[in-house]
Amino acid sequence: MLGITVMGYHPGIEDDGVYLAAIKSNLNPALYPHDANFFRVQLQATFFDKWVASLVHWTGISVATMEFLLQFASIVLVVWACFVIARMLFKEARAQWAGVALVTAMFTLPVSGTALYLVDQHLHPRNVATAIILLAISRILADKHWQAVPLLLLSFVLHPIMGAMGVSFCIFLTVTTLEPLYDWLFSRRKEEPRVATVTVASFVPLGWIFESPTPAWREAVKTHSSLFLFRWEWYEWLGAVAPLYLFWLLWRFAQKRGEKLLSRLALAVVLYGIFQLTVAMIMLGIPSLIRLAPLQPMRFLQLIYVFMTLLGGCLVGKYLLKASVWRWAVFLVAINAGMFVSQRMLFSGSEHLEMPGRNSANPWLQAFSWVRQNTPTNAYFALDPEYLAAPGEDYHSFRALAERSQLADNIKDTAVVTQVPELGEVWAGQVRAQGCEPGAAPCKWSGFQLADFERLRAEFGVDWVLVSYPQPAGLACRWHNDALSVCQIP
């Protein structure tokens, strides 16, 4: 529970805007009659949303409560998997608990250049897949390799990209933990250590991945700097390369101390990192392979950061904290307080724990709630295409939380377009109609008047708008708070 308390809980933000809308659509197909493709097509490769919807249907538990319960369960599973691995690598209890404590505090540690955290502040199949991959790794460390196979298959079904990364890592770990193979490849009796030749598919075989890029798709891709490896800042490169050097040092250190399992895991991290970085540089560096960019090959770093945090904590507990109560107190307060403060700053407009059934003081969430409860299911909304980045909005998805169709936005829907090129022209046309250039800011939405809204109605069938309060003249407004108005277009 401490991990959730520190990281916070924010359903409906970021990627959860896609998954949560899909879950609700599975439960009520009447929702989203105008814009379902902005989440449905992207999720064809995963069963996650269907499984969550089935759980809601079978149990009768609300979507909001089920989301929280599954988020809690995924956090527990991640922590337990980390503890299992720590027990295998370190015999000292203080090392094991220090490693788990650091991971728990650092759930929202950014993974360099990838727009990822170790664990998300909302339910995400990546959280569950990460936990399952860690359990598969623990089975390999326990020399029970075949037990890892069904776990890896499950992770792939939940989140194909992370599942592929997990398979890749487990192959390298198997290479380093099988004694005869390790001796042949890395024994000091050899003149030079050899590098294992392992071919691992680091992408998912989805047909739409290889469609020809359109101009609209290219505009959407430009908004995601993480997809352009050679445009990364120096500190992002440092965050990608430095962990590999640290794990190389750990490999040598553990070897000298005779800590066989720790040294083998560290070596597996190094080999996995070098291989995946090479793959990423090829995929993201050759212009003709631009269509592979949405596979986000640099996200291999997430697993490395999990191990860097876990093993770093274990080493701190073993060699620095030891049995000192004061050192432990300072350590725990520093790591948890620091991450808690950073999350409060990041979500300054929202409650830290957005629990099911709790009324929100966030004016945006108040508006979304009124829309959900008081407008027709087939209502079609227009709102500021940059609304997700508005002060205090905190990236909460209108589509997922208001449960109504909306014209495409200029922030989150760009990520969907990178995955589903056929939506590119639809997205670009809708964004332009709302006063934006695709993928660029600022927009002219704030200057829209009744004639502009009537044009949106004539062109797209939009019949409702969410605008700033006080609203432009001529709109038939049904509700407002101090910041926003919900209005019909006459």
In total, the chain counts a number of residues equal to 490
Distance CA 296, CA 430 (A): 26
Q: What's residue 423's pLDDT? A: 84
Distance CA 488, CA 380 (A): 10
C-alpha torsion sign, points 381, 385, 388, 393: negative
Distance CA 54, CA 43 (A): 16
More confident site: 293 or 107: 107
How sure is the predictor about 198, in pLDDT bands with cuts at 50, 70 and 90?
A: very low
Report the chain's mean pLDDT, rounded to a whole number.
88
205-219, 236-250, 416-430: range with lowest mean pLDDT: 205-219
* β-bridge partners, 488: 464, 476
485 three-state secondary structure: strand
Contacts 24+ apart (CB under 8 A), 278-282: 279/202, 280/229, 281/229
Query: For the CA atoms of the chain, what is the radius of gyration?
Result: 24
4 in Cβ contact with 28 (< 8 Å) = no
Distance CA 185, CA 193 (A): 6
251 pLDDT higher than 90: yes
Q: What's residue 71's pLDDT? A: 95
How sure is the predictor about 202, in pLDDT bands with cuts at 50, 70 and 90?
A: very low
Across the range 288-308, mean pLDDT stands at 87
Q: How far apart are the first and last CA of the chain?
A: 49
Distance CA 490, CA 475 (A): 7
355 pLDDT higher than 70: yes
Q: What's residue 239's pLDDT? A: 93
What pTM, to 2 d.p., does this model score? 0.88
Contacts of 464 (CB under 8 A, 6+ apart): 371, 375, 379, 380, 381, 382, 404, 486, 487, 488, 489
155 three-state secondary structure: helix
More confident site: 289 or 18: 18
Q: What's residue 315's pLDDT? A: 96
Element (H, E) at 339: helix 325-346
Residue 258: both structure tokens together? 């005779």
206 pLDDT higher than 60: no
Q: What's residue 176's pLDDT? A: 87
**CB count, 10 Å around CB of 134?**
26
148-152, 216-220, 311-315, 348-352: range with lowest mean pLDDT: 216-220
3-state helix, strand, coil in the chain (%, to 5): 65, 5, 30
182 in Cβ contact with 176 (< 8 Å) = yes
How sure is the predictor about 293, in pLDDT bands with cuts at 50, 70 and 90?
A: confident
179 pLDDT higher than 70: no
How sure is the predictor about 288, in pLDDT bands with cuts at 50, 70 and 90?
A: confident
> Helices in 159-233 by DSSP H: which ranges?
160-177, 179-186, 215-222
5-9, 50-54, 210-214, 330-334: range with lowest mean pLDDT: 210-214
Distance CA 163, CA 361 (A): 38
Q: What's residue 421's pLDDT? A: 81
Q: What's residue 205's pLDDT? A: 40
More confident site: 239 or 218: 239
Q: What's residue 180's pLDDT? A: 59
Give phi and psi for 303, each to the nearest 5.
-60, -40
More confident site: 163 or 285: 163
Burial 208-246 (b: 16+ CB within 10 A, else e): ebeeeebebbbbbbebbebbebeebeeebeebbeebbeb
151 in Cβ contact with 121 (< 8 Å) = no
**Cα→Cα distances 178→119, 149, 174, Å:** 30, 16, 6
Look at phi and psi of residue 60 and say left if phi exceeds 0, alpha if psi is from -120 to 50, else beta: left
How sure is the predictor about 187, in pLDDT bands with cuts at 50, 70 and 90?
A: low
111-120, 205-214, 441-450: range with lowest mean pLDDT: 205-214
Distance CA 168, CA 202 (A): 7
**Cα→Cα distances 50→25, 45, 94, Å:** 10, 11, 41
Q: What's residue 182's pLDDT? A: 58
Distance CA 365, CA 197 (A): 52
Distance CA 103, CA 55 (A): 29
Q: What proportion of the chain, given as a percentage, has pLDDT over 90?
A: 68
Q: What's residue 364's pLDDT? A: 96
Element (H, E) at 235: helix 234-256
Measured in whole angstroms, how far is the alpha carbon of residue 216 from the centre of its chain?
24
Q: What proportion of the chain, given as a percentage, has pLDDT over 70?
A: 92
